[in-house]
Amino acid sequence: MLYLELDGNGARYAQVARALKRAILHGQLKPGARLPATRVLAAGLGVSRNTVLTAYEMLCAERLASAAVGSGTFVTASIAPARAPSARSAVAPQSRYAARLRRLPALPLRSGVPRLRFDLQYGEPLVDPPLASAWRRALARAATRSDWRYPPSAGHRALREAICEYLARRRGVVCGADDVCVVSGTQQAVSLLARVLLDEGDSVVVEEPGYALALQAFQAHGARLIPVPTDAQGLRVESLPRGAVRLIHVSPSHQFPSGAVMSLERRLALLDSAARRRCWIVEDDYDGEFRYDSTAIPALRSLDIHERVIYVGTFSKVLFPVLRLGYVVCPAGLRDDLVAAKMLDDVACGGIEQAALTELMRSGAFDRHLRRASVELRRRRAALLEGLSRHCAKHLTVNDSRAGMHMVGWLPGWSGQ
């Protein structure tokens, strides 16, 4: 008698067919063997005879069996006899990349620096009803007018133009649509740039402490991370290592997690150092949109006369993280490599959301949202500062850089700089 176990997924006849298929593949039922009489199998499994008949028909349709009129159903003779399964391989690290993935710490902050204790969930999206409905309308219009074919790998030209206009107006970064590659956020920017710029073992300077997910992308790619400390003025440029460095990753607008805004002097010194070393700077303009004083410090990209800066931005913070769209502004010599890497990575970003975002930026709805968000963030910031000064003045030293969507407080005994 044939022992079959049903897996309980979906229709009964499909379960019976799968169980028979397993029996054939595992060699329980040999090539050329006759399948049990349908009545017998139905009784054994406690199913109707029709269920078994349908299962046999499925096996025949899949060519695993064939029916000979009057004499029953037989396992296809040409099926190679099944071999004993190899001892279930323990699926060891599949590649050096996978091995490095497995060594990454689960915690966002590495040891060696004081861990932040007051993590008042930063970067929560400010999606108010006007933004939600503007986005809904923009999506619906984009789905109406959409071209349904693959979008270009560099992104829709109209979106790249809207990004240029935004960058020139609000971030002081002047570039053309051809300098921009649309990506699905900062993370993809970093991971594409790692591929295009770095070989295994290359050195990458990162901020200490820094934004773990970007750092881990470099690490997984096989780069050697060189952490350089930050203080209230951002990366300590004078602490850069003497040896070869291929790339420096910084977030000068509002460093994560320290909140530091890199001073102009540091920016110029960093650019000078990169030009002398001939290494690349990846400027992650993280949380650079919102400032609460009058001082606008120019982006590294806007100060860069040696074309060493690759500027990276995202809509995760200024709109919402569920939208996976960002951009890279890169020197002309890198552009083709970056777009080719994007094409091989995932062809292109989704075209309907690209079209919707273009419409949001062109219609003024994006600017109106930025103004509302700025008012709301000021209000939240004032409330937080007032509460902290009223209740925690003795216990907490606040590092206030007057920028961005988070701030850092230090408990007594922990050094904040």
Which of positions 92-121 make contact with a second copy (CB under 8 A)? 94-98, 101-102, 104
Least Å distance, CB 46 to a second copy, is: 21
What are φ and ψ of residue 37, in 5° steps? -60, 140
Q: Closest by alpha carbon to 319, among 161, 127, 122, 121? A: 127
**Residue range at the interface with a second copy (CB under 8 A); choices 38-46, 227-235, 316-324, 403-411:** 316-324
85 near a second copy, judged by CB under 8 A:
yes
Least Å distance, CB 338 to a second copy, is: 9
- Number of CB atoms found within 10 A of residue 111's CB: 7
* Among 230, 251, 255, 302, interactor with a second copy by CB under 8 A: 302
Restricted to residues 236-265, the positions that interact with a second copy (CB under 8 A) are 264-265
The number of helices, as runs of H, and strands, as runs of E, in the chain is: 13, 12
Measured over the CA atoms of residue 347, residue 352, residue 353 and residue 355, the dihedral's sign is: positive
Restricted to residues 4-23, the positions that interact with a second copy (CB under 8 A) are 7, 9-10, 14, 18, 21-22
Distance CA 247, CA 223 (A): 10
**Residue range at the interface with a second copy (CB under 8 A); choices 36-44, 169-177, 363-371, 404-412:** 169-177
State which residue, 40 or 76, has the beta carbon closest to a second copy.
76
Per DSSP, the residues of 282-326 read EEE-TT-S-BSSS--PPPHHHH-SSS-EEEEEESTTTT-TTS--E
Contact (CB, 8 A) for 250 and 284: yes
State which residue, 71 or 89, has the beta carbon closest to a second copy.
89
* Among 3, 70, 107, 144, interactor with a second copy by CB under 8 A: 144
* Among 74, 122, 292, 320, interactor with a second copy by CB under 8 A: 320
Restricted to residues 355-414, the positions that interact with a second copy (CB under 8 A) are none
Q: How far, in Å, are 166, 367, 416 from residue 182 at the CA level? A: 14, 20, 37
* Among 161, 231, 307, 367, interactor with a second copy by CB under 8 A: 307
Residue count of the chain, please give it.
417
